[in-house]
Amino acid sequence: MPAIHGVPVNVRRAIAAALVGLAGAVGAVMLVLSLAGSSDSIEVRLGDDDFRGIDAADLADEIADHGPVPFPDLLGRDRPIWVTHAGSDPVIGWYAFLARTPKGDRCVAQWDANAVGFVDSCDAGTSYPPDGAGLEQLRWQVVDGELRILINSPGAES
């Protein structure tokens, strides 16, 4: 009868090692789940809380010459904004607001230079003043000549 060569396998040790490994994996999963908490909602926030890198004096001049400036939503959340400015001091007088109107998801405020105001794209009879009153306002601040718009924090100016 031929001899069998190879590594001897201790079945009891193999089963014990498998059970210890399985128990460790189950314990690790339970630990992760308990650390994750029991919150029903998960909020994913990518990017900065503010939109920055805008020279306030340059943008104020641009708005004085050509009217409010639209900015598309760069995060893909369908939140375009308008920025406008009143007065000659680039540190104060800013207005930043969401372009979406209360009329619906596809409705946006569009600048009408002839009317010197915004018009709802879904209802031409609905208009908004140049400061965007009636639309969701965004907080802003000017820091060292840089305009920063707090895109994730609706509310009045800072």
* Domains of the chain: residue spans and CATH: 50-154 (2.102.10)
Q: How far is CA 6 from CA 2, 9, 12, in A?
A: 13, 9, 18
pLDDT in tens, 24-81: 888 888 887 777 765 555 555 555 566 788 899 999 999 999 999 999 886 666 789 9
Q: How far is CA 108 from CA 33, 97, 134, 153, in A?
A: 42, 11, 12, 20
| 31 or 82: which leads in pLDDT | 82
Global pTM? 0.65
Does 82 score more than 90 pLDDT?
A: yes
Residue-level pLDDT at 28:
84
Following DSSP, what letter does each residue of 80-135 receive, concatenated? -EEEEE-SS-TTS-EEEEESB-TT-TT-BEEEETTTTEEEETTEEEEEE-TT-TTS
Residue-level pLDDT at 157:
47
pLDDT in tens, 99-150: 999 887 789 999 999 888 999 999 888 999 999 999 999 999 999 999 999 8
